[in-house]
Amino acid sequence: KAGVTQTPRYLIKTRGQQVTLSCSPISGHRSVSWYQQTPGQGLQFLFEYFSETQRNKGNFPGRFSGRQFSNSRSEMNVSTLELGDSALYLCASSGQGFYGYTFGSGTRLTVV
Amino acid sequence: GQQVMQIPQYQHVQEGEDFTTYCNSSTTLSNIQWYKQRPGGHPVFLIQLVKSGEVKKQKRLTFQFGEAKKNSSLHITATQTTDVGTYFCARLNSGGSNYKLTFGKGTLLTVNP
């Protein structure tokens, strides 16, 4: 069974640009969550989607957005990038009856 | 708020020594999950505890949930170099429109061979 796949693995962007990250959950998992990990703030929740609906959103500015497609794949977008957006962005999926999350390898975003 | 506090932040041990990390909350937890993240890796789910006083074991790892459901611990017996990584506790908020994990800051374990 394939795990959670995130692309790309690494990204370097310039301040002011926008970026789109992709996540393919485990087959059959309908819940997809996104987290930002930084050395200073740790792991912080961005948003969670289930069946194409955003069920919850973390305390991040509106520059951070996401969506989920009918096949459960999810994307997150960050517009007008700032230096502080440099982080590891992790996607996690969960299936019915299983309360632990399976994380992808993450996308390492560097904003210069 | 709904934060979970984790201590210690760092722990360095000699191989073969025991290790414990603690997770505390000011409010009652409905559940607690534990994850391990190897250096350069991603969090990997270890276990979920939901019952007051619950104790679960996975080989050399022992997980406990406090009687008041406000604290939890992870104990590793006779550490090995493969145990190196950051151990996170996390509470799962679920139900209604609230589905998210709130993570502690983690405990970084290093093991001297």
CA-nearest residue to A101 within chain B is B45
d(CA A96, CA B64): 25
CA-nearest residue to B93 within chain A is A56
Mutate which: A35, A101, A108, vs B, most B CBs within 10 A: A101
Distances (CA, A) of A32 to A23, A70, A73, A77, B30: 8, 12, 8, 15, 21
Neighboring chain B residues of A21 at a CB cutoff of 8 Å: none
Per-residue model confidence (pLDDT) at position B3: 86
Does B39 lie at the interface with A, CB-CB under 8 angstroms? no
Per-residue model confidence (pLDDT) at position A95: 85
Per-residue pLDDT in tens (0 to 9) along chain B, 113 residues? 578 999 999 999 999 999 999 999 999 999 999 999 999 999 999 999 999 999 999 999 999 999 999 999 999 999 999 999 999 999 988 766 568 899 999 999 999 99
Neighboring chain B residues of A56 at a CB cutoff of 8 Å: 97-100
Question: Rounded to a whole number, what is the largest CA-CA distance in chain B?
Answer: 48
Taking the CA atoms of residue A14, residue A15, residue A16 and residue A18 in that order, the dihedral angle to the nearest 10 degrees is 50
Q: What is the pLDDT of residues A68-109, one digit of tens each?
A: 999 999 999 999 999 999 999 999 999 877 678 999 999 999
Per-residue model confidence (pLDDT) at position B98: 63
Are A103 and B43 inside 8 Å of each other by CB?
yes
Residue A1 has pLDDT above 80, yes or no: no
Question: Exposed, middle or buried by CB within 10 Å (0-12, 13-18, 19+), for A9?
Answer: exposed
Are B92 and A105 inside 8 Å of each other by CB?
no
Are B33 and A50 inside 8 Å of each other by CB?
no
Chain CA centroid to CA B67, Å:
16
Q: What is the pLDDT of residues A20-70, one digit of tens each?
A: 999 999 999 999 999 999 999 999 999 999 999 999 999 999 999 999 999
More confident residue, A2 or B62: B62
